[in-house]
A and B are shown apart, each in its own frame.
Chain A
Amino acid sequence: MDVNFRKIDIDAYDEDVLHESELYEADPRDPSQVLSEAKAKSASVRSLLSKNDISGALSAVLESAPYGPNVEEAKIVTLQTLLTIINTTKSTEISGVVKSLPQDDQDTLMKYLYKGMAMPGWGDISGSVLLGWHEKLTEVAGTGCIVRTMTDRRTV
């Protein structure tokens, strides 16, 4: 069957098409500013980790995490920082750390866990570490947290 017609971008012929940008409010910050903030956070997380303050480090990196278009580099830096934290946390500590996070941060953390799972083999992503965190986070924040990760268009 010829399915070539499916290659036509029908939205291009719709004057009243709904654009991605209308579905959520973009990050008000400038992309370069977002990047420099992400890098600064990466440094402060390292110092927090050396003091063994995992909750503090997680809150720092999850606070105003970059989202939306044009900030790909900052997103990667943030993901890298987050991976450093979760890879160095002992599995017995995860529950306590997750419970100490405010709800906003729990939702953002879940977004990063899914982002990590979508990039197998990238950097030092370890599937078992991500799944361990995912299990503990779901126990605390519930399936609602996963639903919010899936619906939210402000992807990290």
Chain B
Amino acid sequence: MPASEIYTIAQAPVTCHAFNADRSQVAVSLNSTDVQILTKKGKDWVATDVLKEHDKTITSIDWAPNSNRIVTSSQDRNAYVWQLTDGVWKPTLVLLRINRAATFVRWSPNEDKFAVASGARAIAICSFDPENNWWVSKLLKKPIRSTVLSLDWHPNNVLLAAGSADMKARVFSAYIKEVDERPAPTVWGSKLPFNTICGEYSSPSGGWVHSVGFSPSGDALAFTSHDSSLTIVYPSDSTPTTHSVRLPSLPLVTLAWTTESTIVAAGHDCQPLLFTSSPSSNNSWSLTGSLDSSAPKTAAKASPVGRLNNAAFQTFKNADSRGAGAGGAGGKGEETELATVHQNTITSVRAYSGGVGEVGEVSTTGVDGKLVIWSVDSGSVGGLVGKLGGMRM
């Protein structure tokens, strides 16, 4: 049974990707100034449209499933909302009012707002102004001290999580009077005027925060940071409960919750890792395996050298231990491929199928130009279920 669908969509790094609602099209940026819309034809993804308007590298794309609008952000400090009218994608400029690159963009769950992170130590919360027929923004500024690298919306359409290069993950209120109804109280707070800080959490060993994500219920926050760790926070009135998983491998740069107790995260180690919380031991989180069954079995657990443990590395190691030139270039067909499916850093992992909180498949894209769709269950077929079964016995 194929555990994953693998497509090589480009010979270039894929900056980010976003699928449409029925997963028949995907918007990607290949480290360039345009967005390509790929349509699935048979077993291939064929470029059917190009969105050209940005004049610097695109940093992030999000595709609203219900209103079928695309929003893009770029280093040119702009964001555009793209709408399909008479078969043509038409851009609308957004007044972001930031003076540094826009780094990340996400639609809110109701698709009536979106948030744009930026290098200007600010997050622009954008909503549509029907009178003037454009998107206006309101800036979240305090107390951000550095570039905001990632965002995630709470299911209530008001709270927003942000991960930043000042080593902090924060939860803000992005309440816009004209758009939002007064939100019901959540674990993050009850009074939520714009720019309320509902939580501020540091990475365990001072790594900048690469990605953030609310759990499906919105009652927990996970973030990955450059100190090779994944942190999960459960807020409460007194002291928040924080679980940190410190990895033996390279840092994770992107994450997606699949259920309330499982997270898939990936990054410089080139394979999506599965984390689960066990109700038996106080909901503490641990790394339970890799979705990539071709990866060395031990890699996820405690491989000391992670992605370095490939043929090329071994060649040098052997040359070192046996004296220079051992094996040589003419050896037995030197392999430089990694043992993993992705051959370079995975930059984006997103939910692909299944509803909120019961994600069955996730999609990943990376610097190697591959798009891979992983079955979250199948990751458990081999190693995981075996391990869990073993634990129960």
Contact = CB atoms under 8 A, between A and B. Distances in A.
A139 B249 CA distance: 11
B145 A22 contact: yes
Contacts of A139: 304
B289 interface: no
Contact of A147 (B166, B167, B226, B303): B226
Contact of A140 (B202, B228, B304): B304
Interface in A72-106: 103
Interface string B201-241: 01001111000000000000000011111000000000000
A18 B167 contact: no
B304 A143 contact: yes
Contact of B304 (A138, A152, A153, A154): A138
Q: For the side of the interface on A, what is the size category?
A: 20 to 34
Given A22-B166, A142-B306, A151 B207 contact: yes
Interface in B301-316: 302-306, 308
Interface string A124-156: 000000000000001111111101100111100
A148 B249 contact: no
Contacts of B385: none
A147 B251 CA distance: 8
B338 interface: no
Contacts of B250: 143-144, 147
Contacts of A145: 228, 248
A142 B301 CA distance: 10
A152 B306 CA distance: 20
A147 B206 contact: no
A97 to B, nearest CB: 16
Nearest to A143: B306
B248 A144 contact: yes
Contacts of A10: none
Contacts of A142: 247-249, 302-306
Contacts of A143: 228, 248-250, 304-306, 308
A44 to B, nearest CB: 27
B304 A23 contact: no
B56 interface: no
Contact of B246 (A24, A138, A140, A148): A148
A148 B207 contact: yes
Given A139-B304, A151-B226, A151-B227, A24 B206 contact: yes
Given A18-B146, A151-B205, A151-B206, A144 B247 contact: yes
Contact of B167 (A23, A107, A140, A148): A23
A8 B147 CA distance: 24
A24 B208 CA distance: 11
A151 B246 CA distance: 13
B248 to A, nearest CB: 3
A24 B166 CA distance: 9
Nearest to B225: A151
Q: Which of A103, A140, A151, A152 has the most CB of B within 10 A?
A: A151
B228 A147 contact: yes
Nearest to A106: B246
Contacts of B167: 23-24
A103 B228 CA distance: 13
Contacts of A152: 205-207, 227
A154 B249 CA distance: 21
A138 B145 contact: no
Contacts of A18: 145-146, 166
Contacts of B145: 18, 22
Contacts of B166: 18, 22-23
B206 A144 contact: no
Interface string A12-24: 0000101000111
B154 to A, nearest CB: 27
Interface string B98-130: 000000000000000000000001000000000
Nearest to B146: A18
Contact of A103 (B202, B246, B251, B304): B246
A119 to B, nearest CB: 22
B226 A144 contact: no
Interface in B42-65: none
Nearest to A135: B304
Nearest to A146: B228
Nearest to A103: B246
B245 to A, nearest CB: 10
A144 B247 CA distance: 6
13 contacts: A18-B166, A24-B167, A24-B206, A141-B248, A142-B247, A142-B303, A142-B305, A142-B306, A143-B228, A144-B250, A152-B205, A152-B206, A153-B206
Given A144-B228, A151-B208, 5 more contacts: A18-B145, A142-B305, A144-B249, A151-B206, A154-B206
